[in-house]
Amino acid sequence: MAWLFVAVTAGGLAATLFGEKVDWPLRYFAKPVASAGFLGLALNLGATETRYGWWILIALAFGAIGDVALMGSARVWFLTGLVAFLIGHLLYLVAFLVAGLSSAPTTTAALVAVVVGVFVFRWLRPHLPVEMIGPVVAYVVIISAMVAAAVGATAAGATPLILVGALAFYFSDLAVARDRFVAPGFGNRIWGLPLYYLGQVLLAWSVA
């Protein structure tokens, strides 16, 4: 049954990409369907049976909200999506803390994430409107902390799906940032959306 939900996400993703390419209005239906797939996957695998699972499920729900918001082109929709995903990353961070962290790997990963985050911000900074600097900095800090916690949880014995999912999510967000601020275009979605849904599916599967 779990693979049925994965197939729903994959099908929704394919339809979304096709819709984005040919400006097909049905993409506004396909993207929520893809998100419903990873939510259904987490529920099917027993997310509501553990504290960790509940945190993951709520984080996935905020991801679904962000998916819908980012379908809008106005800045208010982008900011809504940004906030939704930021909250989602915070919830993932809490989930990984609940799973348990290994301190030394977490600290090392945090230091690496800070260095990478600085490079990401330096890349984006020339393209950012003044009013977006604060939100982008906050987002980079939170997602970096989430990835560091994923490293720590995996090192402490949690499923590697957590780390792979977190990294896939991180790199998918680079595609979103590039599309929004640096070089808009369908090419960003070709690699960004599959990475995003891969990350969400893996994190949903981590509740099993």
Position 89 scores a pLDDT of 97
Separation between Cα atoms, residue 134 and residue 148, nearest integer Å: 21
Q: For the beta carbon of residue 97, count every other beta carbon within 10 angstroms.
A: 15
Position 73 scores a pLDDT of 72
The DSSP-derived string for 119-130 is HHHHHHGGG--H
pLDDT at 138 over 90: yes
Q: For the beta carbon of residue 115, count every other beta carbon within 10 angstroms.
A: 10
The tens digit of pLDDT for each residue in 55-79 reads 999 999 999 999 999 887 778 888 8
The tens digit of pLDDT for each residue in 143-184 reads 999 999 999 999 999 999 999 999 999 999 999 999 999 999
- The rounded percent of the chain whose pLDDT value lies above 90 is 88
CB 96 within 8 A of CB 152: yes
DSSP 8-state symbol, 185:
S
In 3-state terms, the chain is what percent helix, strand and coil (to 5)?
Answer: 85, 0, 15
Q: Which amino acid, residue 163? A: L
Position 1 scores a pLDDT of 86
Position 70 scores a pLDDT of 85
CB 30 within 8 A of CB 66: no
The DSSP-derived string for 48-102 is GGSHHHHHHHHHHHHHHHHHHHTT--SHHHHHHHHHHHHHHHHHHHHHHHHH---
Position 26 scores a pLDDT of 81
Mean pLDDT of 94-101: 98
Backbone angles phi, psi at 160, to 5 degrees: -65, -15
pTM of the model: 0.95
The tens digit of pLDDT for each residue in 9-65 reads 999 999 999 988 888 888 889 999 999 999 999 999 999 999 999 999 999 999 999
Residues in Cβ contact with 149 at an 8 Å cutoff, skipping those fewer than 6 apart: 92, 93, 96, 97, 101, 106
Position 23 scores a pLDDT of 81
Q: Compute the mean pLDDT over every residue in the chain, rounded to the nearest whole number.
A: 95
